[in-house]
Structure 1
Amino acid sequence: MDTRPIALFDSGSGGLSIWKSIVSLLPLESTVYMGDHRYIPYSTKNVEFIQRRGKCAIQFLISRKAKIIVVACNTATVAGIDYFRKIFPDIPIVGVVPVIKTAAKMSQKKKFGVLSTERTAKSDYQKKLIRTFASDCEVYPVGNTQLVSLIENGEKDSVRVVELLEKLLNPLCKKDVDVLVLGCTHFPFLRTQIQKIIGKSVLILDSGDAVAMQVKRILEHENLLSDNQKPTHQFFTTGNPAKVRDVISRLLERGIVVKTVPDSVQ
């Protein structure tokens, strides 16, 4: 058994939706989470910048004795997963991608939407997933980055969020989709609002459970599972720890402590 932590990083707080799925499935595992809030959102940055920040994050998480790395960010996964695996070959690295394959299987009407950041929506990676797994479906990508900023500003339940979601989702309602993929780790925190707008009959899918299952499979295969009855959960940020603490505490609905990363990671 291995009590070292599962490590996750994201451009901000969105990766906590993945964190929740992992902690739910693997309750004996300790975790360490790093949000790169100083540079959020990644979706407006170039590939080289995202790879550089991801490298810094992974180096920091390895210094915290991580046994596996989860790139809990769709944009960072699309921009850098192959690069990260190449330069850190000695530690398992799991990425997050939109569950296009699952959506194609679950859609009865063969029509579904994908809500993600603009970078992910335009990426060759997502287009390839659609060509490979959903060639028999009508797929409607919707890209938006403003939602990420609103969530990070603590406006998850604000009127502005609802109005923006209505603007983004109403065209999908007219397309009569029966599945909606959430292709950004921030967006599961808006699931309630999204469901009200898109309709109860539309199935909403995100990557959380799939990522958690992949982490479990790797830990089982490598004999790295923990039996720790008192796991710990640490949270770090490159941003303002007090502000980040308030946002994360609301998202997770629990009080937490957020620490600042060392200057070398900033």
Structure 2
Amino acid sequence: MSNLPIGIFDSGVGGLSVLKELQNLLPNENYIFFADQKNVPYGEKTKEELVSLTSRIVSFLISQKAKMIVVACNTATCYAIEELRTIAKLPVVGVVPAIKPAAEQTKTGRIALLATPATAQGSYVTKLIDEFASPNHVGVLRVGCAGLEECVENGHLNSEAVIKVLNSYLLPLKQAGIDQLVLGCTHYPFLRENMAAMLGPAINILDSGKKVAERVKFLLNKYSLYSGGAKGENIFFTNKNASKFSRVASNLLGYKVHGRLVSL
């Protein structure tokens, strides 16, 4: 049993979608969330840059007594998680695009991955497709999106600009006959409602948040790390604009968030 916190990080506020799933499944745990907003978006970084940036964040979370690390970012998981596991020397959980369940559930044999350009075209996704989609003759449309991550960062979920960007990416996928849409960026679940309205009920939208929470629960049990507290507490850090982070995070999570500024 351990009342130490679970450390979570992302390039920005997208990882809050993973935090929501963790809080739903494990409400008694304590959480520390770090938003690397000074370096968003991660999708434009090289592997070397991502390893350097995320290594510093993991070291910071360990300094805050984290008992486990959740890499709540698809791009960081794809490019840096093995190095982070070596550095952390404690359980590290990443976010894997839901290619496998999408390939299992498709009836049309066509699915799509919506992600940052780096994630969409990365070798990690290629490996997932080769392992879970190609053997079953499932076609995967890989769409690297520019602009969506920034919309969520600014708290613009329903603006005219967001709807325009979503339409430009989603309508061609609908016309292509997909029946499964994989959200390969943790920012995107906050846009799910608008996506569902555009795509209609025939297209299933999948993200990895619940699976990450289930994996964390499994590891807490495996290593006897469950919190003994009655109700968990949350601490939020950002390295850019604490007031903006607090405003956007409060809106996304549905409760008051006070972000703390840290130099990192």
Please confirm whether the aligned pair reaches a TM-score higher than 0.5, indicating the same fold.
yes
The aligned counterpart of 2:176 is 175
What does residue 66 of structure 2 align with? 66
1:257 maps to 2:228: no
Can you give the 5+ residue segments of structure 1 that lack an aligned partner in the other structure?
A: none
**CA distance in structure 1 between the partners assigned to 2:16 and 2:77 by the alignment:** 15
Contact 1:43 1:145 in 2 (8 A): no
Task: Indicate the SS of the match to 1:145.
Answer: coil
Q: Who is 2:202 aligned against?
A: 201
Q: In 2, Cα distance between the equivalents of 1:256 and 1:53?
A: 24
Query: Per-residue deviation at 1:110?
Result: 1.8
1:45 to partner: Cα distance: 1.2
SS at match of 1:157: coil
TM-score normalised by length of structure 2: 0.97
How far did 1:217 drift? Answer: 0.5
Which runs of at least 4 in structure 1 moved beyond 6 Å after TM superposition? none
Q: C-alpha separation between the residues in 2 aligned to 1:61 and 1:87?
A: 12
- Indicate the residue corresponding to 2:95 in structure 1: 96
Stretch of structure 1 that moved more, 65-74 or 108-117: 108-117
Whether 2:194 is the aligned partner of 1:210: answer no
| Pairs within 5 Å for 1:106-185 | 106-135=105-134, 136-185=137-186
For 1:4, what is the secondary structure of its paired residue? coil
CA RMSD of aligned residues (A): 0.9
1:50: Cα distance to partner?
A: 1.0
Secondary structure at the aligned position of 2:217 is classed as: helix
User: Structure 1-normalised TM-score?
Assistant: 0.97
CA distance in 2, matches of 1:246, 1:105: 39
How many angstroms apart in 1 are the aligned matches of 2:231 and 2:112? 41
**Distance between the aligned counterparts of 2:231 and 2:126, measured in 1?**
43
Give the C-alpha shift of residue 227 in structure 1.
2.3
- Tell me how far apart the structure 2 counterparts of residues 257 and 69 of structure 1 sit (CA, whole Å): 21
1:86 CA displacement: 1.7
Query: 2-side partners of 1:104 and 1:230: how far apart?
Result: 38
Task: Give the match's secondary structure for 1:134.
Answer: helix
Q: What is the identity, as a one-letter code, of the residue corresponding to 1:199?
A: G
Q: In the TM superposition, what is the alpha-carbon distance from 1:239 to its structure 2 partner? A: 0.9
Contact 2:8 2:32 in 1 (8 A): yes
Residue aligning to 1:188: 189
Provide the rounded CA distance (Å) in 1 between the counterparts of 2:21 and 2:158. Answer: 22
The correspondence of residues 13-92 of structure 1 with structure 2, limited to 5 A, is 13-88=13-88, 90-92=89-91
Inter-partner Cα distance in structure 2 for 1:25 and 1:186: 20
Offset, 1:18: 0.5
* Deviation string, structure 1 residues 63-103 (Cα, Å, up to 9, x no partner): 11100000000011111001111222x21101111010111
Deviations 1:82-129 (A, max 9, x none): 1111222x2110111101011111112221111000110110110110
Mapped partners of 2:23, 2:232: distance in 1: 10
Q: Secondary structure at the match of 1:27?
A: coil
Letter matched to residue 256 of structure 1: V
Deviation at 1:222, TM superposition (A): 0.3
Q: CA deviation at 1:175?
A: 1.2
Residue identity in the other structure for 1:164: V
Assess if the C-alpha contact under 8 Å between 2:27 and 2:231 holds in 1. no
Q: Aligned residue pairs: how many?
A: 262
